Structure formats: structure tokens, C-alpha cells
Amino acid sequence: MKFIPHTEKDIEEMLHEIGISSIDELFEDIPEEIKLKRDLNLPPPLNELELKNEIDEILSLNLKLKRIFLGGGAYFHFIPATVNYVLSRGEFYTSYTPYQPELSQGILQALFEFQSILSDLTHADVTNSSMYDGATSLVEAIFMAERIKKRGKVLVSRSLNPEYNEVLKTYLPPREITLDYIDFNENGEVPLEKLKEKVKEGYSSFVIQSPNYFGIIENLKEIGKILKESDTLFILTITEGISLGILKPPFDFGVDILAMEGQSFGIPLSFGGPYLGILQTKKEYIREIPGRIIGETKDRNGKRAYVMTLRAREQDIKRDKATSNICTNNSLNALAALVYLSTLGPSGFKKVAEINYKKAHYLAKRLIDEGFELKFKNLKFFNEFVLKLNIEPIRLKEKLSLVGIEGGIPLRYFGLDDSYLFTVTEMNSREDIELLVCALKEG
């Protein structure tokens, strides 16, 4: 009877009020033949202390690693204490979707501020109040572009995160949207001349990630020009939001829809989730963007108030005509991102981005100095890059595990059998970096 406050006497009184003699009578409408005639086969219940001990025991099966040089769409960043402090407020985390604005001004204003801070960061006109993750945001972005252009075709840069690519391959076929790819060149970038030719085939949108899966910052300025000329919608994906601390706001380059992963903004790695899908667009497409949007208005007394707005696009009202089926989003993580960004402030956020950039370049330089080679000679990478290594993935793992390091994502997905992706963030100290260089050098 854990978490159930009723006493025996309460139950008796309630049964009496209903006019029945046992709770079981309330289940008489369930046909006997489908009632479960046994207990569920589950482990016996645990009290708090037992539970804690049990979890510690299970966790002892995990091996602790301190030095992680892994990225690839999920990034290990420092999270200031303010984030957890704010998120731990029961008024935030035990609330629901703000259907009643009078009792939800706290989360509504926070989500409005989230929309605003993210719009400022990328120069978007509109940011919705969150999606599940970056990959599903990208799906919605492509669907949006299809609603606008209706060409049944999308062109995707091959250097997209494989996780995202796999999600696209699930979502697009039933909607009869053809998925075409454009390969990266020897520089690890999308080849601009080829792109110019390819988009003439008439796609609703072109999808590119920047920094791309290899960490390389794409030439968004030129891409924007090419897409504009060909009347193709420009969908940008960002998996490492920290890069925005040093990179120009993407909407300055003519981006139409931005589908982004916000995990880097104060959200722990948590073995892959929950993360934060960010979806943004220009004002002209506001009615095409799915999910919740918070708007500012006034109450009856003229006081500033926030509400969920443009509800008519949503599934609970429009049903099968809705822009999407999204209902639960990731509000709490949107709040985390807001607290994170405002804790760092303009100078702190820029500083963190600069350090990420610098540290990855330092590792690359140290490796080059030691005779290693980068797969792409392109030095326009952010906090990750591709290293050429003639070694089996299993051997690399063994070698690095000896010094408590895990890093280097094999790139076989891209047919690059001799290449590994290494990521460096502010969480990797100079000492860690030297240790990695040493470990790679040996044997």
C-alpha cells in the first residue's frame, strides 16, 4: 500500500457511500475470462533502504570511466548547480501541460523565455516550446517543408548524424517522401558545385548538419545562396549547441527551419535521454511548425500573461488534421536549457564555446605533431574531428581502456574503416588530452 494514504476505516466509509461492500465489486464489469487469476510475476516490493542498496549493487556492474572523448550527438559538458536547483522545484517538475494558464504562469513564462533566448541565439523568428530530441525535430522539419513545398523529395547531406539518418529512414517511407543523399567531399564538407546541380532536381528541402558529424563547420553562407536560387527550403541541424557561442546565427544565412538537439545546454548525458528537441522557423511558416507555442497576452485587468497559443494546429483540437501528433514534449528540459544559458550569460557562453573549439584543436595539433594524420585536412572543425588510425575498433578500445579512456567512434557507417571521431569538451583537462596522445602513440 505504498504511496496510498487511505486507512482501513477510510476505505470502509467510502465503500459505504458508494453503496457496495468491497472494492472488488467495482471490477465486476471486467469479464471473468480476462481477469488475471494470479499475482504478477514481479520481484517482491522493496522499501527505500532496500531499494538504494539494490541500485548500488546493480550499479557495481558498471565500470567507471573518468575520461570520455566521445561525442557524436551527445556531449559531456559542465552543468552549473543552478540548473538542478531550479529543476528540483516540485512546482515545476510535478506539474503538467499548462492547460490552465492562471495556475501555470511559472512554466509558461519560463517557456516563453526559452523560446526567446533560443530565438536570440540563432536569429529565428519562432521557436516552439520543445520536441523530443534533435532527430525527431528533424523529421518534423522535413514534414513541415513538405507541407510548404509538396515536392515529395528531400535531399540530405551524407555527413548527417547516423542516429538521425536512421530515424529519417523510419519516418519518411510511409509518407512517400523520397530520401536522396549528397556525399561529402575529401574535405569532409558538402561539395558546393555538386549541390548546385543536384538541387535543380526539385526537392522540398535540403538537410545539412553543421558542425557536421565529423565536427566540420559547413559553409552556410554559400549553401544559403545556392538554396535560395533553386527555391529549396534550407533545413539546418545542429547537434552541438555550444558551437553557437562562436558561430554566426544560422538564420542570418537564410535557414528556413532549424532542427536542433539542446542536450548540450545543461542536460546530462543520461545514457541517451531525455534530451531536448529544438525546432525553429521564420515568421511566415509559424502555422506550419508543430508542437506547443507560448504567446504573450494580457489578462482581464491588463496584466501581462502567457498562454499556449495557436492551439488550433494541435492534435487535441485538430485530431487527424493536426500538424503533428506531438503531445507530451520536453518542457522541463527546455527550462534546464534556459537556466543553463542564463547562468553562463553572454560572456560565459562564448567562453565555453571558445574553450571547446580550442581544446579539440589542441588535441588535433598534438596528434599531428606526433605523426598522426587527420582524415580531412580541413581545420574548420568545432569540438570534434576525424583521426586516421589503422587499427581495429576492438584493439583501440582495449588500448585506451588501460588508461581509463573511452573515445574514438569508429566511422564504418560512412565506409571510413580507418577513421575515428574524437571529441573534446571543457570537461577534458589538458592532462587527459596528454594521456590520450600517449596512449595512442604506444603500440
Partner 1 sequence: MKTLKELSKKGSNKFEIEDDLAFFEVEKLNEDYLREEVEIPDVSEVTLIRHFINLSKLNYGVDLNFYPLGSCTMKYNPKINEEVAKKEDFLYLHPLLSIEYVQGTLKILWELQEFLKEITGMDAFTLQPAAGAHGEYTGLRIMWEYFKDKGERRKKVILPDSAHGTNPASSSMLGLEVVEIESKDGMVDPEKLKEVVDENTFALMLTNPNTLGFFEKDILKISEILKSKGALLYYDGANLNGFIGIARPGDMGFDCVHLNLHKTFSTPHGGGGPGSGPVGVKEFLAKYLPFPVIEKNEDDFFYFSKPERTIGKVRSFFGNFTVLLKGYLYIRELGSEGLKEVAKLSVLNANYIKEKLKKYYPSPFDRVVKHECVLSGKIYKEYGVKTLDIAKRLMDYGFHPPTIYFPHIVDEALMIEPTETESKETLDEFIEAMIKISEEIKTNPTLVKNAPHTTYISRPDEVRAVKELKVKW
- Give the helix/strand (H/E) hosting 117: helix 105-122
**3 in contact with partner 1 (CB under 8 A):** yes
Region of 181-189, 226-234, 308-316, 411-419 interacting with partner 1 (CB under 8 A):
308-316
- Considering only residues 408 to 437 of the shown chain, the ones binding partner 1 according to CB under 8 A are 409, 426, 429-430
- Residue from 180, 345, 412, 438 binding partner 1 (CB under 8 A): 345
Q: Residues, the chain, total?
A: 443
- Give the helix/strand (H/E) hosting 106: helix 105-122
- Residues 6+ away with beta carbon under 8 Å from 178: 152, 153, 154, 172
- Residue from 335, 374, 411, 439 binding partner 1 (CB under 8 A): 335
**405 in contact with partner 1 (CB under 8 A):** no
Residue 338 CB, nearest approach to partner 1 (Å): 8
**184 in contact with partner 1 (CB under 8 A):** no
- Considering only residues 10 to 49 of the shown chain, the ones binding partner 1 according to CB under 8 A are 10-11, 13-15, 17-19, 23, 26-31, 33-36, 39-48
How far is it, in rounded angstroms, from Cα 368 to Cα 20? 80
Residue 65 CB, nearest approach to partner 1 (Å): 6
**248 in contact with partner 1 (CB under 8 A):** yes
| CB nearer partner 1, residue 78 or residue 200 | 78
Q: Judged by CB under 8 A, how many residues of this single chain contact partner 1?
A: 194
Count of other CB atoms within 10 angstroms of residue 443 = 7
- Considering only residues 212 to 241 of the shown chain, the ones binding partner 1 according to CB under 8 A are 217, 219, 221
Residue 155 CB, nearest approach to partner 1 (Å): 19
- Residue from 159, 232, 330, 425 binding partner 1 (CB under 8 A): 330
C-alpha dihedral (316, 175, 273, 353), degrees to nearest 10: -110
Beta pairing class for 405-407 and 409-411: unpaired
- Residue from 67, 151, 198, 359 binding partner 1 (CB under 8 A): 359
C-alpha dihedral (114, 116, 119, 121), degrees to nearest 10: -80
How far is it, in rounded angstroms, from Cα 206 to Cα 189? 14
**441 in contact with partner 1 (CB under 8 A):** no
φ, ψ for residue 442, nearest 5 deg = -75, 130
**399 in contact with partner 1 (CB under 8 A):** no
- Residue from 21, 53, 93, 412 binding partner 1 (CB under 8 A): 93
- Indicate the SS3 state at residue 366: helix
Look at the block and give the residue holding cell 504511496: 3
**74 in contact with partner 1 (CB under 8 A):** yes
φ, ψ for residue 421, nearest 5 deg = -95, 120
